[in-house]
């Protein structure tokens, strides 16, 4: 699957984000090795620390459906600049595939791509 296709799915998913506090809507699209795509959005809460990022929602969706082999994740938001996964999401994604392609997009679909292990060097491991 082309990166731009995954970016477009992340942008479309973003429309469902629940972000009444920050106003930052984020969508993620996670590609499995089998070619399935699971999406996620950020879900905020009045108790801010309970907010869940779009990337982790996508992982939870995929794992709940029995998928654990991931090749790529696209993440996009409603702002300028490339949307980058936070440290917590990088660690959660790393659990499944350090070689994963991470495609980081802006509101208009421009993007850059890096490998997860580059974004999270010297990660925590068992």
Residue 58 is a binding residue for Zn ion (CB under 5 A): no
Q: Which is nearer to Zn ion, 9 or 58 (by Cβ)?
A: 58
Our answer to whether residue 125 is catalytic in this structure is no
Q: Does 89 bind Zn ion (CB under 5 A)?
A: yes
Q: How many residues bind Zn ion (CB under 5 A)?
A: 3
CB of 75 to Zn ion, least distance (A): 9
* Dist CA 77 CA 103 (whole Å): 12
Cβ proximity to Zn ion: between 29 and 53 the closer is: 53
Residues listed for the chain? 126
Out of 55, 95, 110, 125, pick the active-site residue: 55
Residue 1 binds to Zn ion (criterion: CB under 5 A): no
CA distance 7 to 2: 9
Dihedral sign (CA 54, 74, 77, 14): negative
53 binds Zn ion (CB under 5 A): yes
Please state, in angstroms and rounded to a whole number, the distance separating the CA atoms of residues 70 and 47.
31
Crossing angle for the helix pair 87-94 and 54-64, to the nearest 10 degrees:
20
Interface residue with Zn ion among 15, 86, 108, 115 (CB under 5 A) is 86
Minimal distance, residue 122 CB to Zn ion, in Å: 19
Rg (CA), the chain: 13
Q: Which residues bind Zn ion (CB under 5 A)?
A: 53, 86, 89
Residues marked active site are found at 55
């Amino acid at each position: 699957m082309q990166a731009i296709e995954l970016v477009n799915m992340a942008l479309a998913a973003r429309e469902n984000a629940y972000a009444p506090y920050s106003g930052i809507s984020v969508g993620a699209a996670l590609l499995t090795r089998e070619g399935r795509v699971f999406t996620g959005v950020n879900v905020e809460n009045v108790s801010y620390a309970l907010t869940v990022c779009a990337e982790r929602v996508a992982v939870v969706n995929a794992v709940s459906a029995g998928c654990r082999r991931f090749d790529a994740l696209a993440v996009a938001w409603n702002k300028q600049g490339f949307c980058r996964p936070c440290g917590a999401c990088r660690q959660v994604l790393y659990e499944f595939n350090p070689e994963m392609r991470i495609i980081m997009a802006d509101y208009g679909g421009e993007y850059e791509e890096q490998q997860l292990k580059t974004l999270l060097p010297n990660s925590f491991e068992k």
